[in-house]
């Protein structure tokens, strides 16, 4: 392998930043769930990634029910399918989140914090491995690509392709097409396609040469432009994410339950003394956080092509979202969004610098760095807390 | 002084001798106390079957990502076993198959093979994935049991090992076959390689492809990696697109290759796709969608071949599986691996692991469904032919034969 920095190509930097933001918005959505639960209960909900995983399964089965089972031909229209999947996934996750809180966390609430933490890890493992008993994970299914009718890309050219390269490609097009026709004619005359005669072979060589020259020139011309290409599915994913974040901000900052939530987050005991029903607030928090995870899972499983769904669906994304929450300052809602975006961009930049081997390691390097230099996170308080 | 020291030596020597004989004796005794039915004895090295049946182990991924391969290889192996037992077994003894699940994980493959060894099998057939097979070989060679791998193609798996064999070609051949096909038949000169860093199979295959492609005069313009389990490949694909390859070699398993192909096309990459036998599951059509159609993979045989072995196998398979053709090549390889082991057992001088190993190592010109298999003098790696097939929609038969390559030297 060459030195990583030798491979750096500044023309692809804008595209990589956009990739990072797209990935990061998903991390941010999951990180919100971690950070809200931590804010209210001072509990790191390690089962959050598994709630996210179950959201993907719900989305999968909803798509099956709406006519997108493997082998089925007639699916319902997209304007109906996609919102139904999204809502089903969010609703199911909200219920699962509340159940986990009610039966796993609430009985532990009076105990030492470490007990709740271990319980959270236990729930996470239970869902990961227990899920394999009931869910058809071998081989892992995926949501069919026909579910998402928004295929194709939107291209934004920041600079236009170089004129001379375009002309060169245009000039090579004609010979390439001609060589293709010659080769097709020669191939049609061949009795044994696996064992060509010398004339056919030379026609084929000529075709390969001309075709490669034309395609290379075309790609070189395309690559000479600094452009950003985003798939339409990703744009929808990003806009839904932003919409949900705005909604969350409204719910937390401008409604009565939101105010109660902030009060509980500020001081759990005093809030309960002030007549706030803390149990209700905790349930509300789990509903919001889990529903966001459900939305994230549905969007990832639907809009990222061919994503396989198994019981470890939430493992990697869950860990990264957790790091994002810590990076932004756990317990801090805007911090989770900033942390998520930074995580996504950091990962993209590592790949851009030629280190695709280390793409997943970067999450943990960031975690260690944050814990060492700024334990409170970017937007959190600097108060050090023992878990 | 001298007398005393030599007497000490004599005493020490006799003590060693005593313990040596005692050791031998206790081993013999253990052998005599072996039970009656299907029992076996494990001595210092190797296992000998006694009683009415001879046990052979099979490790397969019956759950997890690689279930399509595990199920097919198990069915194939069972078919071969049934034929053998129906024909009378060996010296009046039937062979009993012990099956353990490796759950598509290397750790479980290890536990499974340790369990089989303790149950007294005299040889193990299995696995498809190279990473899993490595664990089986380690567990088996400790007890001096022969292992016949089904589809594990990683080249160094059998290196310097007396107890590891396989019935498939190796990646040092598979990679060059695809390099040759891409270079000569598809005119690809600039290629990008995508490797699954978590899979020894993928790493080895990428390496052998790269070396031969460069040897042919091609250029490797980009190498990127991912880890099995990853689902988003946008950043890797952006880097790759910038290097404008004419072809992409994806050496991983179908579980990630499908999404990779789909996301590559979505990112506007129009290069031709090539891969190894890791693509071999029709599941790839689900996760890869239209993007994977027209990709090429290397495989061991094809259902459409008119060789007698293939057609006989398909007839028997269809009779037992409701008229359906096997979904993956591992059915035929599992059948071949088991049949070769049983064939060796027939030739073996005794129903023991040592004799079985000897007989397997001496296999010559065994007519398998997937081609002629010779193990004698090849250090466990049969020099076999390979096929290149194109991925087509299910309606056209999923894998359509394109070209066959007889074994050639790749160094």
> How far apart are the C-alpha atoms of A231 and A235, rounded to whole Å?
7
E strand map for chain A:
153-157, 227-231
The two tokens of residue A266 are: 């500020």
Q: What is the reported pLDDT for A302?
A: 92
In a domain, A261, yes or no: yes
The two tokens of residue A289 are: 């956080």
Q: What is the reported pLDDT for A277?
A: 93
In which domain, by residue range, is A310 found? 9-153+230-373
CB B45 within 8 A of CB B305: no
Q: Which residue, among B253, B240, B161, has the nearest Cα to B200 in the 3D structure?
A: B253
Give the pLDDT confidence of A257-314 residue by residue, as tens digits: 999 999 999 888 899 999 999 999 999 999 999 999 999 999 999 998 788 898 999 9
In a domain, A166, yes or no: yes
> How far apart are the C-alpha atoms of A380 and A382, rounded to whole Å?
6
Q: Which residue, among A296, A307, A295, has the nearest Cα to A86 in the 3D structure?
A: A295
Is there a single domain that holds both residue A260 and residue A146?
A: yes
In a domain, A309, yes or no: yes
Is there a single domain that holds both residue B176 and residue B165?
A: no
In a domain, B24, yes or no: no
> How far apart are the C-alpha atoms of A294 and A313, rounded to whole Å?
12
> How far apart are the C-alpha atoms of A8 and A330, rounded to whole Å?
34
**pLDDT-derived band of residue A383, with 50, 70 and 90 as boundaries?**
low
Q: What is the reported pLDDT for A3?
A: 43
The residue assigned the tokens 């000039």 is: A171
**pLDDT-derived band of residue A137, with 50, 70 and 90 as boundaries?**
confident
Is there a single domain that holds both residue B69 and residue B152?
A: yes
Q: Is the pLDDT of residue A49 over 70?
A: yes
Q: What is the reported pLDDT for B7?
A: 46
> How far apart are the C-alpha atoms of A18 and A229, rounded to whole Å?
9
In a domain, A367, yes or no: yes
Q: Which residue, among B199, B130, B182, B389, has the nearest Cα to B280 in the 3D structure?
A: B389
In a domain, B31, yes or no: no
> How far apart are the C-alpha atoms of A113 and A178, rounded to whole Å?
74
Is there a single domain that holds both residue A130 and residue A185?
A: no
Measured in degrees and rounded to the nearest 5, phi and psi for residue A214 equal -65, -50
> How far apart are the C-alpha atoms of B203 and A357, rounded to whole Å?
12
Q: Is the pLDDT of residue A96 over 50?
A: yes
Q: What is the reported pLDDT for A1?
A: 41
The two tokens of residue A315 are: 């493992």
Distance (Å) from the alpha carbon of B338 to chain A's nearest alpha carbon: 24
Residues of chain B contacting A70 with CB distance shorter than 8 Å: 286
In terms of CA atoms, which chain B residue is nearest residue A229?
A: B267
**pLDDT-derived band of residue A152, with 50, 70 and 90 as boundaries?**
confident
> Which CATH number covers residue B233?
3.40.50.2300
The two tokens of residue A232 are: 């339409």
Closest CB to A19 among B190, B235, B281? B235
The two tokens of residue B320 are: 């037992």
Higher pLDDT, A138 or B98: B98
Q: What is the reported pLDDT for A259?
A: 94
Q: Which of A85-99, A124-138, A144-158, B129-143 shows the highest mean pLDDT? A: A85-99
Is there a single domain that holds both residue A127 and residue A276?
A: yes
Vertex B346: Cα angle to B341 and B348 (nearest 5): 85
In a domain, B13, yes or no: no
CB contact under 8 A, A216 and B225: no
* Final residue belonging to a domain, choices A181, A197, A225: A225
Please check whether residue A156 touches B, CB under 8 A: no
What total of structural domains would you count in chain B?
2
Q: What is the reported pLDDT for A280?
A: 93
* Final residue belonging to a domain, choices A168, A192, A225: A225
Is there a single domain that holds both residue B80 and residue B164?
A: yes
Is there a single domain that holds both residue B261 and residue B397?
A: yes
Is there a single domain that holds both residue B165 and residue B66?
A: yes
In a domain, A195, yes or no: yes
In a domain, A387, yes or no: no
Instruction: State the first-to-last Cα distance of chain A, in angstroms, to the nearest integer.
Output: 42
Q: What is the reported pLDDT for B246?
A: 93
Distance (Å) from the alpha carbon of A340 to chain B's nearest alpha carbon: 16
The two tokens of residue A137 are: 């994970």
Maximum distance among all alpha carbons in chain A? 92
DSSP three-state, residue B194: strand
Q: Please report the DSSP string for B308-350 in residue order.
A: HHHHHHHHHHHHHTTTPPPSSTHHHHHHHHHHHHHHHHHHSSS
DSSP three-state, residue A98: helix
Residues of chain A contacting B262 with CB distance shorter than 8 Å: 145, 305-306
Q: Is the pLDDT of residue A6 over 80?
A: no
Is there a single domain that holds both residue A187 and residue A244?
A: no
CB A172 within 8 A of CB A210: yes
Is there a single domain that holds both residue A33 and residue A84?
A: yes
Is there a single domain that holds both residue B140 and residue B69?
A: yes
CB contact under 8 A, B244 and A348: no
Please check whether residue A182 touches B, CB under 8 A: no
Give the pLDDT confidence of A350-363 residue by residue, as tens digits: 988 888 888 888 88
Is there a single domain that holds both residue A58 and residue A146?
A: yes
In a domain, B39, yes or no: no
Q: Is the pLDDT of residue A63 over 90?
A: yes
Residues of chain A contacting B223 with CB distance shorter than 8 Å: 1
Q: Please report the DSSP string for A212-232 in residue order.
A: HHHHHHHHHHHHHS-EEEEEH
Q: What is the reported pLDDT for A380?
A: 73
pLDDT, mean over chain A: 88
Q: What is the reported pLDDT for A77?
A: 87
Over the range A247-272, which residues count as b (16 or more CB within 10 Å of their CB) and which as e? ebeeebeeeebbebbbbbbeebeebe
Give the pLDDT confidence of B27-43 residue by residue, as tens digits: 333 333 333 345 566 55
> How far apart are the C-alpha atoms of A159 and A11, rounded to whole Å?
10
In chain A, what percentage of residues exceed pLDDT 90? 47
CB A19 within 8 A of CB A30: no
In which domain, by residue range, is B348 found? 47-169+305-380
Q: Which residue, among B279, B282, B284, B314, has the nearest Cα to B298 in the 3D structure?
A: B279
- Work out how many CB contacts closer than 8 A connect A with B: 143
* Final residue belonging to a domain, choices A198, A225, A252: A225
> Which CATH number covers residue A289?
1.10.3470
Which residues of chain A from 6 to 45 reach within 8 Å of chain B, CB to CB? 7, 9, 11-12, 15-16, 19-20, 22-23
What total of structural domains would you count in chain A?
2
Range of weakest confidence among A27-31, A162-166, A380-384, B84-88: A380-384
Q: Which residue, among B165, B96, B44, B98, has the nearest Cα to B351 in the 3D structure?
A: B96
Q: What is the reported pLDDT for B41?
A: 64
In a domain, B109, yes or no: yes
Is there a single domain that holds both residue A285 and residue A308?
A: yes
In a domain, A384, yes or no: no
In a domain, B117, yes or no: yes
Is there a single domain that holds both residue A15 and residue A106?
A: yes
DSSP single-letter state for residue A355: -
Is there a single domain that holds both residue B368 and residue B263?
A: no
Is there a single domain that holds both residue B348 and residue B237?
A: no
Is there a single domain that holds both residue A46 and residue A193?
A: no
Our CA dihedral for A121, A124, A129, A130, rounded to 10 degrees, sits at 110
Is the pTM of the predicted complex or chain greater than 0.90? no
Q: Give pLDDT < 50 ranges for chain B.
A: 1-37
Is there a single domain that holds both residue A48 and residue A188?
A: no
In a domain, A2, yes or no: no
Question: Other C-beta atoms within 10 Å of A372: how many?
Answer: 8
Is there a single domain that holds both residue A37 and residue A74?
A: yes
Give the pLDDT confidence of B241-259 residue by residue, as tens digits: 888 899 999 999 998 999 9
Contacts of B226 (CB under 8 A, 6+ apart): A356, A359, B194, B195, B196, B197, B233, B236, B252, B256, B260
**pLDDT-derived band of residue A184, with 50, 70 and 90 as boundaries?**
confident
Is there a single domain that holds both residue B157 and residue B212?
A: no
Which residues of chain A from 350 to 379 reach within 8 Å of chain B, CB to CB? 351-352, 354, 356-357, 359-360
> How far apart are the C-alpha atoms of B61 and B102, rounded to whole Å?
5
CB contact under 8 A, B255 and A306: no
How many residues in chain A? Answer: 387
Give the pLDDT confidence of A318-331 residue by residue, as tens digits: 999 999 999 998 88
Is there a single domain that holds both residue B271 and residue B344?
A: no
Residues of chain A contacting B239 with CB distance shorter than 8 Å: 7, 9, 12, 16, 351-352, 354, 356
Give the pLDDT confidence of A196-255 residue by residue, as tens digits: 788 888 888 888 888 888 988 988 888 888 888 888 888 999 999 999 999 999 999 999
Please check whether residue A211 touches B, CB under 8 A: yes
CB contact under 8 A, A207 and B229: no
Is there a single domain that holds both residue B52 and residue B103?
A: yes
Q: What is the reported pLDDT for B306?
A: 85
Is there a single domain that holds both residue A343 and residue A365?
A: yes
Is there a single domain that holds both residue B215 and residue B278?
A: yes
Please check whether residue A348 touches B, CB under 8 A: yes
């Amino acid at each position: 392998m060459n030195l990583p920095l030798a491979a750096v190509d500044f023309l692809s930097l804008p595209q990589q930043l956009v990739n990072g933001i797209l990935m990061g918005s998903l991390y941010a959505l999951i990180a919100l769930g971690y950070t809200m639960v931590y804010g209210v209960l001072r509990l790191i909900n390690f089962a959050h990634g598994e709630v996210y995983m179950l959201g993907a399964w719900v989305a999968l089965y909803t798509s099956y029910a709406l006519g997108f089972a493997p082998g089925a031909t007639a699916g319902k229209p997209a304007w109906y399918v996609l919102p139904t999947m999204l809502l089903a996934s969010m609703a199911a996750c909200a219920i699962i989140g509340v159940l986990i809180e009610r039966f796993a966390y609430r009985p532990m609430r009076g105990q030492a914090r470490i007990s709740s933490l271990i319980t959270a890890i236990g729930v996470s493992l239970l869902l990961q491995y227990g899920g394999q008993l009931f869910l058809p994970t071998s081989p892992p299914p995926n949501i069919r690509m026909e579910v998402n009718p928004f295929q194709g890309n939107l291209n934004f050219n920041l600079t236009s392709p170089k004129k001379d390269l375009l002309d060169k490609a245009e000039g090579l097009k004609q010979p390439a097409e001609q060589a293709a026709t010659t080769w097709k004619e020669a191939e049609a005359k061949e009795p044994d396609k696996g064992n060509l005669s010398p004339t056919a072979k030379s026609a084929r060589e000529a075709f390969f040469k001309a075709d490669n020259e034309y395609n290379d020139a075309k790609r070189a011309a395309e690559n000479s432009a600094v452009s950003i290409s985003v798939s339409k599915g990703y744009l929808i994913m990003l806009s839904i994410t932003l919409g949900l974040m705005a909604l969350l901000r409204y719910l937390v900052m401008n409604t009565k339950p939101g105010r109660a939530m902030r009060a509980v987050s500020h001081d759990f005991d005093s809030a309960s003394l002030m007549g706030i029903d803390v149990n209700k607030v905790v349930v509300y928090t789990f509903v919001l956080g889990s529903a966001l995870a459900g939305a994230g899972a549905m969007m990832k499983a639907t809009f990222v092509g061919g994503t396989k769904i198994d019981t470890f669906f939430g493992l990697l994304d869950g860990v990264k979202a957790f790091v994002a929450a810590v990076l932004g300052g756990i317990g801090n809602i805007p911090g989770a969004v900033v942390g998520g975006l930074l995580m996504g961009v950091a990962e993209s930049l590592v790949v851009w610098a030629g280190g695709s081997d280390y793409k997943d390691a970067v999450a943990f390097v960031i975690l260690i760095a944050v814990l060492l230099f700024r334990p409170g996170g970017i937007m959190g308080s600097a108060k050090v807390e023992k878990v | 002084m001298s007398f005393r020291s030599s007497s000490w030596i004599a005493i020490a020597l006799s003590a060693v001798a005593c313990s040596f004989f005692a050791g031998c004796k206790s081993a013999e005794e253990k052998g005599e106390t072996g039970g009656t039915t299907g029992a076996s004895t494990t001595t210092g090295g190797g296992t000998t079957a006694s009683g009415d049946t001879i046990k052979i182990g099979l490790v397969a991924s019956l759950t997890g990502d690689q279930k399509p391969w595990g199920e097919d290889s198990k069915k194939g192996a069972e078919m071969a076993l049934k034929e053998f037992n129906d024909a009378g077994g060996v010296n009046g003894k039937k062979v009993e198959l012990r099956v353990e699940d490796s759950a598509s994980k290397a750790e479980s493959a290890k536990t499974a093979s340790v369990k089989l060894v303790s149950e007294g099998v005299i040889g193990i057939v299995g696995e498809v994935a190279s990473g899993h097979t490595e664990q089986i070989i380690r567990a088996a060679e400790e007890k001096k049991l022969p292992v016949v791998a089904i589809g594990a193609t990683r080249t160094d798996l059998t290196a310097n090992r007396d107890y590891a064999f396989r019935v498939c070609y190796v990646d040092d051949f598979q990679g060059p076959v695809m390099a040759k096909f891409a270079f000569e038949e598809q005119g690809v000169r600039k290629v990008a390689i995508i490797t699954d860093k978590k899979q020894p199979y993928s790493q080895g295959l990428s390496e052998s492809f790269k070396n031969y492609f460069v040897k042919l005069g091609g250029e490797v313009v980009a190498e990127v990696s991912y880890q099995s389990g990853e689902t988003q490949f946008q950043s890797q694909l952006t880097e790759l697109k910038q290097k404008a390859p004419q072809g992409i070699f994806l050496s991983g398993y179908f579980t990630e290759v499908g999404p990779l192909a789909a996301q590559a096309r979505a990112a506007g990459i129009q290069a031709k796709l090539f891969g190894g036998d890791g693509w071999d599951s029709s599941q790839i059509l689900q996760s890869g969608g239209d993007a994977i159609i027209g990709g090429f993979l290397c495989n061991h045989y094809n259902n459409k071949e008119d060789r007698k072995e293939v057609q006989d196998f398909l007839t028997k398979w269809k009779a037992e599986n409701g008229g359906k053709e096997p979904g993956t090549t591992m059915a035929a390889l599992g059948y071949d691996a088991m049949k070769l082991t049983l064939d060796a057992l027939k030739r073996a001088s005794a129903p023991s692991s040592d004799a079985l190993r000897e007989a397997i190592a001496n296999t010559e010109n065994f007519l398998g469904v997937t081609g002629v298999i010779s193990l004698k003098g090849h250090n466990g790696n049969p020099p076999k032919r390979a096929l290149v097939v194109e991925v087509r929609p299910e309606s056209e038969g999923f894998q359509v034969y394109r070209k066959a390559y007889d074994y050639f030297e790749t160094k």
